[in-house]
Amino acid sequence: MPSSTPSSARPRPEPGALTVAELARAARRALPRAAWDYFRAGADGEVTLAANRRAFARWPLYPRVLVDVARCDPGLELLGARLAFPILIAPMAYQKLAHPDGELATARAAAGLGTVMVVSTLATVALEEVAAAAPGPRWFQLYVHRDRGLTRELVARARAAGYGALVLTVDAPVLGRRLADVRNGFALPPGLAMANLAGSGTEGDHFGDAARHDPSLNWRDLDWLRGIAGVPLLVKGIVRADDAARAVAAGVAGVIVSNHGGRQLDGTVAALDALPGVVAAVGGSVPVLVDGGVRWGTDVLKALALGAAAVLVGRPVLWGLAVDGEAGVARVLTLLRDELVRAMALAGCPELAAVTRDLVGG
Ligand code: FNR
């Protein structure tokens, strides 16, 4: 496949992908090779990338029967926001690589369907423009750069633009090695930039920017950040119970169990398998979210049964975006939402409060 297919010449999606996997296949056809590789890859041997998916298959469901499920409501309250369903959009860099509308399309789809988009520090649209694109609740994901002034400025900009929470990513002190990106010499194509970092000298340089992330970031910095955040602060990239307990003691408003979609430390435990230990350590004091490998509504049900307040989805959103812009993202979210509602009905859960630990075995 040529590496620079103009977006207007991309094949249209076949009408009605029924599953996330079908959308992934359509996205693969639509995307230039280097972009597909960047989105798909995990680190090194991709052991964790595969483990994230496998973990869901290992937890069987024990559906409840003879419950009135004539109405199933997947709605919830999360950190002060009312969400239509417990599936958020994970922060992901460089969305204009998937579609010319990039983050604007993702934000509109999320707002249209009533869920939260987490906007990446490495977005290709400035955070203020994403905020102006749609009215929905949204959070801002933060990478802390060596230049603390830059971080302080990003935090102030996110607050001024109405972002309801900050998500500090803590699993990327250095960049995981994704072999395809190295082989492809992955770089942002001309015309695309890290729009939030304009003027920092790092805008177009993927590996160069990652090198500016501060590998000395530590627990003391979390206190500093909480002090300047002005909005609830979540940490993303926790898999250990002791780290989760320490984050809660430091005053975070939420914990996101994640191994970065298998893109950082290869061999890390599957996100779903790390979830129960973190949930136990947090003890209900703050919401615990999880991401990594969610591809079906039943995956969401399992994560919630194991104690997650909500899940985030990553790559499926990029696949929808690549295939059909805002409508494609809306299609992914709708698919997952409808699968979840069907799974709730089939498992005897008219609302999320009924999704309890006994629904999964293992
Ligand atoms: C990511 N992820 C990510 N995380 C983050 O905190 N900041 C970021 O900028 C990015 N960028 C990014 C780009 C791409 C292409 C991918 C696939 C992922 C990680 C992301 O938020 C999430 O943790 C995983 O993607 C979840 O796994 P699944 O749903 O993709 O399996």
- 263 C-alpha to ligand 1 centroid (Å): 8
What's the predicted TM-score (pTM) here? 0.94
- 91 C-alpha to ligand 1 centroid (Å): 6
Residue 6 predicted with pLDDT over 50? no
Tell me if 97 sits within 8 A of 35, measured CB to CB.
yes
Tell me if 141 sits within 8 A of 163, measured CB to CB.
no
Tell me if 348 sits within 8 A of 64, measured CB to CB.
yes
Residue appearing with tokens 């076949």:
14
Q: 107-164 pLDDT, tens per residue?
A: 999 999 999 999 999 999 999 999 999 998 999 999 998 889 999 999 999 999 999 9
- 69 C-alpha to ligand 1 centroid (Å): 34
Is residue 210 very low, low, confident or very high in pLDDT (cuts 50, 70, 90)? low
| CA gap 10, 32 in Å, rounded | 10
Q: Which residues have a catalytic role annotated? A: 260
Minimum-distance ligand 1 atom for the alpha carbon of 120: 9
| CA gap 180, 90 in Å, rounded | 22
- What's the one-letter identity of residue 15? P
Minimum-distance ligand 1 atom for the alpha carbon of 295: 29
Q: How many CB atoms lie within 10 A of CB 257?
A: 31
- Where residue 19 falls (left for φ over 0; alpha for ψ -120 to 50; beta otherwise) is beta
- Where residue 137 falls (left for φ over 0; alpha for ψ -120 to 50; beta otherwise) is beta
Q: Is 124 in the pocket of ligand 1 (CB under 6 A)?
A: no
Nearest alpha-carbon partner for 340 in 316, 311, 320: 311
- Give the H or E element holding residue 51: helix 47-58
Nearest alpha-carbon partner for 15 in 338, 328, 342: 328
Residue 190's SS3 state is: coil
Is residue 213 very low, low, confident or very high in pLDDT (cuts 50, 70, 90)? confident
Residue 329 predicted with pLDDT over 50? yes
| CA gap 283, 270 in Å, rounded | 21
Cβ-Cβ contacts under 8 Å for 49 (sequence gap 6 or more) = 41, 42, 43, 261, 262, 263
29-359: CATH number? 3.20.20.70
Tell me if 239 sits within 8 A of 267, measured CB to CB.
no
Give the residue-averaged pLDDT of 253-275: 98
